[in-house]
Amino acid sequence: MRLTKPVSLEEPVGFGEPVSVEERGREHPGTRLRRDEEDAVRDVLGRLCRAYGSLDGTTVERAVAEARDAFRQARVRAFVPILVERRARAALDSAARRSRPAPPQGDPLSAP
């Protein structure tokens, strides 16, 4: 590949801070994006653990892991964390409904 313009040694690569030549050699360009995605999914896990405190933590972790696995092959990664959160919330809403005790049968106010 032939460059048409000179490249600055401190030119930003993708998003974030400028990266030096030494740093470029140590880190693959996609590594930072993967780390950002992992951090975002970790934040999702924390939010969902707080929101679904009545459910076991492993249930929340499993819902997030399964949701993330559904997007494993996604080519565009920018929206994966929000999609993971939405899918996991749907699964956790369903699990929370199943774990609630059934309401009592009949209306106690209408008893003779």
Residue 1 lies in a domain: no
Residue 73 has what pLDDT? Answer: 95
Residue 40 lies in a domain: yes
Q: Once rounded to an integer, what is the mean pLDDT over residues 83-103?
A: 91
Residue 52 lies in a domain: yes
Residue 44: give its domain's CATH number.
1.10.8
CA atoms of 28 and 60, how far apart (whole Å): 31
**Is 94's pLDDT higher than 90?**
yes
Nearest in space to 95 (alpha carbons), one of 55, 58, 64, 66: 55
DSSP run (H or E) holding 34: helix 29-51
Q: Once rounded to an integer, what is the mean pLDDT over residues 93-105?
A: 83
* Structural domain range at position 76: 30-98
Structure tokens at 74: 């996604």
Residue 108 lies in a domain: no
Residue 89 lies in a domain: yes
Q: Count up the domains in the chain and report the number.
A: 1
Residue 76 lies in a domain: yes
Residue 6 lies in a domain: no
**Is 108's pLDDT higher than 80?**
no
pLDDT, tens only, 27-67: 666 777 889 999 999 999 999 999 999 999 999 999 999 99
Residue 57 lies in a domain: yes
